[in-house]
Structure 1
Amino acid sequence: MKILITGANGQLGSELQEILREQSDKECYFLDRKQLPLDQTLIIQDILAMYQPDIIIHAAAYTAVDKAESESDLADAVNHLASEEIAQYCRLHGAKLLAISTDYVFDGGSVNPLAENAPVNPINIYGLTKLRGEQAIQKWLPEAIIIRTSWVYSTYGNNFVKTMIRLMSERDEISVINDQIGSPTYAKDLAQAIVAIVEGENWVSGIYHYSNEGEISWYDFAEAIKEIKGLECKIHPIPTAQYPTPAKRPKYSLLDKSKIKRIFGVEVPYWRESLRKMLEQVRIG
Structure 2
Amino acid sequence: MLLLALSAPAAAQAPGPAPSSSPAQPAPARVPVYGYEVVRRFPHDPTAFTQGLVIRDGVLIESTGRDPSGVRRVRLEDGVVLEKRELDPEYFGEGLTEADGRVFSLSWINGVGFIWDARDLSLLSRFAYDGEGWGLTHDGSRLILSDGSTALRFLDLDTQAETGRVTVTLNGRPLGRLNELEWIDGEVWANVWQTDYIVRIDPASGQVVGVIDLSGLLKDPVQDPADDVLNGIAWDAKSRRLFVTGKNWPALFEIKLTGPR
Higher helix share: 1
Q: Identify the structure with the greater strand proportion.
A: 2
Q: TM-score range by the shorter chain?
A: under 0.3
Max Rg structure: 1
TM-score, L = length of structure 1: 0.26
TM-score, structure 2 length as denominator?
Answer: 0.27
